[in-house]
Amino acid sequence: MLTAVNVAIRGRVQGVGFRPFVYQLACQLQLSGTVQNNMDGVKIFLEGEEDLIQMFLTEVKEKAPRLAKIKEILVESTAVQHVQKFSIIPSERSGTSQLVIPIDSAVCEDCLEEMNDPNDFRYQYPFINCTQCGPRYTIIDELPYDRPYTSMKSFPMCDDCQQEYEDPTNRRHHAQPIACPTCGPKVQLLDGAGTIINSANPIQETINLLKAGKIVAIKGIGGYHLCCDAMNEAAVTALRKKKNRPVRPLAVMAASLTATSSFAIVSDKEAELLTSPEAPIVILKKHHNEQLAASVAPNMSTIGVMLPYAPLHHLLLTDSELSVLVMTSANPSGLPLVYQDNDAMNYLVGIADFYLSHNREILHPVDDSVVQVNAGKLDFLRRSRGYVPDPFPTNQDVTGIVAFGGQQKTTFTIGRNKQIFIGPHIGDLENIETINHYHKELTHLLRWIDTPKTSAVIDAHPGYQAQNLLTDYDFAEVIKVQHHHAHMAGCIAEHQIDGKTFGIILDGTGYGLDGHIWGFEILYGDAADFKRIAHLHYTPLPGSEKSIREPWRNAAAMLISYHGDEGADMASLVFPDKAQEIQVLTSMIEKRINTVYAGTCGRLFDAVSAICGVTKVANYDGQAAIELAELTDETQIYEPYSFDLLDNELITIDFSTMLKEIVSDVLARVSVTMISSRFHETVVQAIMSAMGMGLNKNSNLEKTVVLSGGSLHNRYLRKRLTEELKEKGFVVFAPESIPCNDGGLSYGQLAVAAAKRRK
């Protein structure tokens, strides 16, 4: 029977060859109608036999172009119009502000095949690309996305490239970064002093240098990496020493999935992520007896792995004696990623022995993205290259809302129409370079997205940089959002949860409405508003920042504040070399000198890690908690320690007895794995009891819960909480497309502002 439907497809469907694909598919199935781009996706009108329309709807998902990412297909029947043919019609929108900004994508199979074909004119050409792969966001200066507005403008096309570019049947039709050895960018090898090394084959030369244990700074898609042979302990140690990065795990790039399997366990889902066009770093479980240099990821049971994504990476990983490279962002400690050639020479002097550079300029730096599979779902640790600036669809107009994020791992988020754009990973706003970098990227993305500046959204913390940053822009209003409410609202928005929900937010530190540091919260509410149901008992952080950098201080302070003199004695037993400092801490706490009060999950983990002797002084943010988690047995459930719940106006979770039990286990030399596993289970059980008490105290609460906050990267916590909550009849959500850490904060802030606007 002849039927007609309107189909709306949302997701990444613009600027990826989606309309020509729909056109071909409709013609193959002998369907008539139209396809066009509109404000937030692609709109299709289809007319034909009902079964053929069904076939279309299946195949549009299954056969979509490589870079397309369909998030939603809405179908509704409509009146038959007796259209004769299928056609692509002009977009249902106007003005520059609707332009799509494409993502940087890993090289595709077709291009790789050509690159490896000795008869192809792009044989071994490190900048091969097509409409379905190659750099985009990082090389675009102005919109619309067109070669003269990219850093390819300085490479006029040769006749061969021009012909492909103009041929509508060619897979490089309108591929803006199209290039070949004749007309395109070239690589160049330089020594540590920046002198060009003349070589017929700089890539082969680089392979030889890496095999000889040298450190090479390699210019990639989003910036420079520092690289060395991941099997060579001396090289990795040298890199750590020069970069002043003693223990933080380094990411590696493996030649292939097969090469990865030799040192890590790869599930199907992880393999899919590794080989996706976004090509993120995926956190994998190491094999017990893997052969990588020990200092690549010391004290870790996991390792961050990516596969080659630029054609240049593929060419570097062709030698069977060099199958895994350490590949770490080239930035001096705490500073933004190095991406300009001059900066590379300035900042990396004394670190890089050589530079493998090229003359295609990177205009906008973007760090590698980092993901893991957690409780069977995607869990973003950093959402950047390959994902930025893909918009998130929303059902509400969010035009003019700009959210400034937090202070650590920060990002910003911009709303336009019914789309939300999260900017690239910026980092910690702790030095002028990073603040300038934030400023530059925000200004740039605001210009691209071209939205009015109506509402600025910032964290409620009075000391965050966002307060200063926003004064450079002219916003009509400023909205302050509580840190953990932003985490909760982000998850509510991502999953489009209607009505009210619980929020279990386990986090590092965030400014609380009572002036204390929050971070172990059970909240209840929606994106617009919340009520605090339960939290962790506050303990002092003497010297605040110092207690965060040196978790043993925070541990001692917890013991002292919970148990007085007995606690000070316990602290002296587990930190015998700190007796004098423990006395100072005791009087700081008594007199409340330079001491803030905190109840956060991150600090609790830090303290237990220090008491167990795992990490007493942290070298990087979150180290103590991460290293403790690495020692946990995720395969079984251990008996929890004791804990108490105090029910005043708020439910307070009290771990004083647990800490005492842990101290005595440590002194009795119980294994850290046993202690850590029991501790993890205690946290889960305490939260479950508090949830039960919260439900009893308040009637008619929804049994929906969102899990978020940086501590929810912890695999044990996420898995066990999800299991327990589901068993108690809760519907459980966690962030899947945005980071649950502060990288996702700006998205949540925007969600709060949008919900308040709706109300």
Q: How far is the CB of 181 from Zn ion (least distance, A)?
A: 8
The b-or-e profile of 619-640 (16+ CB within 10 A means b, else e) is: eebbbbbbbbbbbbeeeebbeb
**In terms of Cα–Cα distance, which of 328, 301, 320 is closest to 258?**
320
Q: Exposed, middle or buried by CB within 10 Å (0-12, 13-18, 19+), for 581?
A: middle
Question: Based on CB atoms, which residue is closest to Zn ion, 160 or 529?
Answer: 160
Q: How far is the CB of 629 from Zn ion (least distance, A)?
A: 39
Q: Which stretch binds Zn ion (CB under 5 A): 104-112, 345-353, 393-401, 490-498?
A: 104-112
Q: Is the dihedral of CA 493, 497, 501, 507 positive or negative?
A: negative
Cα–Cα distance, 19 to 34 (Å, whole number): 10
User: What six digits make up the tokens of 3?
Assistant: 């039927």
Q: How far is the CB of 187 from Zn ion (least distance, A)?
A: 16
279 binds Zn ion (CB under 5 A): no
Question: Based on CB atoms, which residue is closest to Zn ion, 277 or 525?
Answer: 277
Q: Which stretch binds Zn ion (CB under 5 A): 30-38, 175-183, 480-488, 669-677?
A: 175-183
Q: Exposed, middle or buried by CB within 10 Å (0-12, 13-18, 19+), for 64?
A: buried
Question: Based on CB atoms, which residue is closest to Zn ion, 160 or 630?
Answer: 160
Q: For Zn ion, which residue of 183, 257, 446, 645 counts as binding (CB under 5 A)?
A: 183
Question: Based on CB atoms, which residue is closest to Zn ion, 138 or 295?
Answer: 138
**In terms of Cα–Cα distance, which of 211, 227, 208 is closest to 219?**
227
CB neighbours of residue 54 within 10 Å: 14
Q: How far is the CB of 164 from Zn ion (least distance, A)?
A: 9
Q: For Zn ion, which residue of 13, 180, 556, 706 counts as binding (CB under 5 A)?
A: 180
Q: How far is the CB of 162 from Zn ion (least distance, A)?
A: 8
Q: Is the dihedral of CA 714, 720, 724, 727 positive or negative?
A: positive
Question: Based on CB atoms, which residue is closest to Zn ion, 183 or 257?
Answer: 183
Strand ranges in 290-408 using DSSP code E only, listed in sequence order: 302-306, 324-329, 354-358, 370-374, 377-382, 392-393, 401-403
Q: How far is the CB of 136 from Zn ion (least distance, A)?
A: 12
Q: How far is the CB of 360 from Zn ion (least distance, A)?
A: 13
Asked whether the beta carbons of 405 and 412 are under 8 A apart, the reply is yes
**What is the CA angle 101-104-109, rounded to 5?**
130
Question: Based on CB atoms, which residue is closest to Zn ion, 133 or 571?
Answer: 133
Q: How far is the CB of 132 from Zn ion (least distance, A)?
A: 5
Asked whether the beta carbons of 190 and 357 are under 8 A apart, the reply is yes
Q: For Zn ion, which residue of 25, 161, 296, 754 counts as binding (CB under 5 A)?
A: 161
Question: Based on CB atoms, which residue is closest to Zn ion, 162 or 594?
Answer: 162
Question: Based on CB atoms, which residue is closest to Zn ion, 15 or 415?
Answer: 15
158 binds Zn ion (CB under 5 A): yes
Cα–Cα distance, 394 to 543 (Å, whole number): 43
Query: Measuring CA to CA, how many Å separate 593 from each of 123, 445, 542, 566, 582?
Result: 68, 43, 7, 21, 14
Give the helix/strand (H/E) hosting 2. strand 2-12
Q: Say how many Å lie between the first and final Cα of the chain, rounded.
A: 46
Question: Based on CB atoms, which residue is closest to Zn ion, 77 or 182?
Answer: 182
Q: Which stretch binds Zn ion (CB under 5 A): 109-117, 238-246, 452-460, 679-687?
A: 109-117
Q: How far is the CB of 63 from Zn ion (least distance, A)?
A: 17
**In terms of Cα–Cα distance, which of 38, 747, 102 is closest to 420?**
747
Q: Which stretch binds Zn ion (CB under 5 A): 156-164, 219-227, 399-407, 750-758?
A: 156-164
750 binds Zn ion (CB under 5 A): no
Q: Which stretch binds Zn ion (CB under 5 A): 92-100, 103-111, 190-198, 745-753?
A: 103-111
CB neighbours of residue 592 within 10 Å: 11
Q: Which stretch binds Zn ion (CB under 5 A): 89-97, 159-167, 630-638, 734-742?
A: 159-167
Q: For Zn ion, which residue of 130, 373, 523, 707 counts as binding (CB under 5 A)?
A: 130
Rg of the chain over Cα atoms, rounded to whole angstroms, equals: 27
Q: How far is the CB of 175 from Zn ion (least distance, A)?
A: 8
111 binds Zn ion (CB under 5 A): yes
CB neighbours of residue 82 within 10 Å: 9
CB neighbours of residue 234 within 10 Å: 12
Q: How far is the CB of 163 from Zn ion (least distance, A)?
A: 9
Alpha-helical regions (H) of 291-368 = 311-316, 341-347
* Residue 320 phi, psi (nearest 5): -65, -20
Asked whether the beta carbons of 351 and 264 are under 8 A apart, the reply is no
Q: Which stretch binds Zn ion (CB under 5 A): 153-161, 308-316, 406-414, 515-523?
A: 153-161
Q: How far is the CB of 112 from Zn ion (least distance, A)?
A: 8
Q: Which stretch binds Zn ion (CB under 5 A): 123-131, 185-193, 362-370, 706-714?
A: 123-131
Asked whether the beta carbons of 638 and 646 are under 8 A apart, the reply is no
Question: Based on CB atoms, which residue is closest to Zn ion, 146 or 477?
Answer: 146
103 binds Zn ion (CB under 5 A): no
73 binds Zn ion (CB under 5 A): no
Cα–Cα distance, 667 to 591 (Å, whole number): 30
Question: Based on CB atoms, which residue is closest to Zn ion, 65 or 332?
Answer: 65
Q: Which stretch binds Zn ion (CB under 5 A): 96-104, 106-114, 223-231, 366-374?
A: 106-114
Question: Based on CB atoms, which residue is closest to Zn ion, 18 or 355?
Answer: 18
Question: Based on CB atoms, which residue is closest to Zn ion, 172 or 563?
Answer: 172
How many residues does this entry show for the chain? 759
Give the helix/strand (H/E) hosting 693. helix 672-697
Q: How far is the CB of 318 from Zn ion (least distance, A)?
A: 18
Q: Which stretch binds Zn ion (CB under 5 A): 63-71, 110-118, 604-612, 699-707?
A: 110-118
Q: How far is the CB of 134 from Zn ion (least distance, A)?
A: 6
Question: Based on CB atoms, which residue is closest to Zn ion, 131 or 482?
Answer: 131
Cα–Cα distance, 715 to 678 (Å, whole number): 15
Q: For Zn ion, which residue of 133, 324, 607, 625 counts as binding (CB under 5 A)?
A: 133
Q: How far is the CB of 183 from Zn ion (least distance, A)?
A: 3
Question: Based on CB atoms, which residue is closest to Zn ion, 67 or 297?
Answer: 67
Question: Based on CB atoms, which residue is closest to Zn ion, 182 or 208?
Answer: 182
Q: How far is the CB of 105 from Zn ion (least distance, A)?
A: 8
731 binds Zn ion (CB under 5 A): no
Q: For Zn ion, which residue of 4, 108, 266, 753 counts as binding (CB under 5 A)?
A: 108
Q: How far is the CB of 257 from Zn ion (least distance, A)?
A: 19
Phi/psi zone of residue 350: left (φ > 0), alpha (ψ -120 to 50 degrees), beta?
Answer: left
Question: Based on CB atoms, which residue is closest to Zn ion, 336 or 386?
Answer: 386
Cα–Cα distance, 628 to 306 (Å, whole number): 25
Q: How far is the CB of 249 from Zn ion (least distance, A)?
A: 32
For 647, the 3-state DSSP assignment is strand
**One character per residue 439-478, x = contact with Zn ion (rule: CB under 5 A):** ----------------------------------------
Alpha-helical regions (H) of 464-550 = 466-469, 483-494, 545-549
Question: Based on CB atoms, which residue is closest to Zn ion, 182 or 201?
Answer: 182
Number of residues that bind Zn ion (CB under 5 A): 9
Q: Which residues bind Zn ion (CB under 5 A)?
A: 108, 111, 130, 133, 158, 161, 180, 182-183
